[in-house]
């Protein structure tokens, strides 16, 4: 209960634009950087001397940015911030995949895999854990995830978009954890974060009653940017935080659900292996686009 209260009413952020160490020379890429959390995060980082790229829905622009990184090749922090919540029932991607899973999981997974060579090259000349990949989860991971992490992503529910959203947010944690194991030896830190309950466009598809009831609990998007800022730039985070879960406004989750921790572990480690299964499902969906 105490952890849930801290999600709703977190302590003051420990890292803001007022005490952020200089980030001169670092390159950040923020998806969904045109509004909400992504916009606020980009604005904070821009004024600390960084190079900040924002990525939106244009495939042409995204591919152009990837080519820029390849020619550098430097990319210090990839913030997988973009997402969608509660779209109209039956919404799917062009590949006929449930839209929330496609947008919140498959898109970030593919982008991250495409940029891994650049991230690895950056990490080879940078201090440990300063090259980072940040994924975006939600408080629904704690409040709404089915035991062990949810249903089969290949068969999302057709009756409750909230369940599909929760599955996608658990999926982000699964992907963060699996990537952490993949890139730990390279000195890259991969974590997920719940940015907080915020007044952003993420709720634009939510029922009017839900928006009205949740309004008193929502914070300014800038507060969510502080969560992402801490995950991406806090100097005291080490590789030991790999696969971890950051909560508002910048701290590691003190007591994540035990069943989800088991899902992060492979069967060889005594867990259920659901995170690995989910990452393999994602790879199966996007492999042809590499």
Query: Any idea which residues carry the catalytic annotation?
Result: 165, 169
Distance, CA of 65 to CA of 141 (rounded, Å): 31
The CA-to-CA distance between both ends of the chain, in Å, stands at 43
- Strand 131-136 relative to strand 188-193: parallel, antiparallel, unpaired? parallel
Say if residues 272 and 148 touch (Cβ distance below 8 Å): yes
Say if residues 41 and 30 touch (Cβ distance below 8 Å): yes
Unique residue bearing structure tokens 């980009």: 42
Helix (H) or strand (E) holding 251: strand 251-252
Q: Kindly provide the b/e burial profile for residues 238-252, where b requires at least 16 CB atoms within 10 angstroms of the residue's own CB.
A: ebebbbbbbbbbbbb
Say if residues 132 and 190 touch (Cβ distance below 8 Å): yes
* Residue among 173, 170, 167, 177 at smallest CA distance from 98: 167
Unique residue bearing structure tokens 């969906």: 285
Which alpha helices (H) appear in 184-267, and where do they start and end?
208-214, 221-233, 258-264
Query: Which contacts of 266-270 are long-range, i.e. CB under 8 A and separated by 24 or more positions?
Result: none
């Amino acid at each position: 209960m105490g952890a849930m209260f801290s999600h709703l009413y977190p302590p003051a952020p420990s890292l803001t634009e007022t005490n952020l160490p200089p980030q001169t020379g670092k390159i950040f890429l923020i998806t969904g950087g045109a509004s909400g959390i992504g916009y606020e995060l980009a604005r904070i980082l821009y004024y600390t001397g960084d190079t900040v790229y924002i990525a939106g829905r244009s495939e042409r622009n995204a591919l152009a940015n990837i080519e820029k990184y390849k020619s550098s090749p430097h990319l210090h922090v990839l913030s997988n911030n973009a997402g969608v919540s509660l779209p109209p029932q039956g919404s799917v991607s062009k590949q006929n995949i449930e839209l929330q899973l496609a947008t919140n999981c498959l898109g970030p997974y593919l982008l991250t895999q495409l940029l891994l060579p650049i991230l690895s090259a950056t990490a080879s000349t940078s201090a440990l854990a300063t090259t980072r990949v940040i994924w975006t989860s939600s408080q629904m991971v704690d409040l709404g995830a089915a035991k062990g992490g949810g249903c089969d992503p290949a068969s999302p529910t057709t009756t409750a978009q909230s369940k599909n959203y929760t599955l996608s947010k658990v999926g982000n944690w699964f992907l963060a954890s699996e990537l952490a194991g993949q890139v730990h030896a390279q000195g890259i830190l991969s974590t997920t974060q719940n940015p907080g309950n915020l007044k952003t466009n993420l709720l634009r598809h939510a029922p009017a009653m839900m928006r009205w009831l949740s309004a008193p609990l929502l914070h300014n998007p800038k507060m969510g940017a502080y969560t992402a800022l801490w995950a991406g730039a806090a100097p005291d985070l080490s590789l030991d935080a790999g696969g971890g879960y950051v909560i508002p406004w910048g701290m590691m989750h003190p007591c994540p659900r035990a069943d989800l921790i088991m899902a992060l572990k492979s069967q060889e480690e005594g867990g259920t292996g659901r995170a690995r299964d989910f990452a393999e499902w994602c790879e199966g969906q996007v492999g042809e686009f590499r």
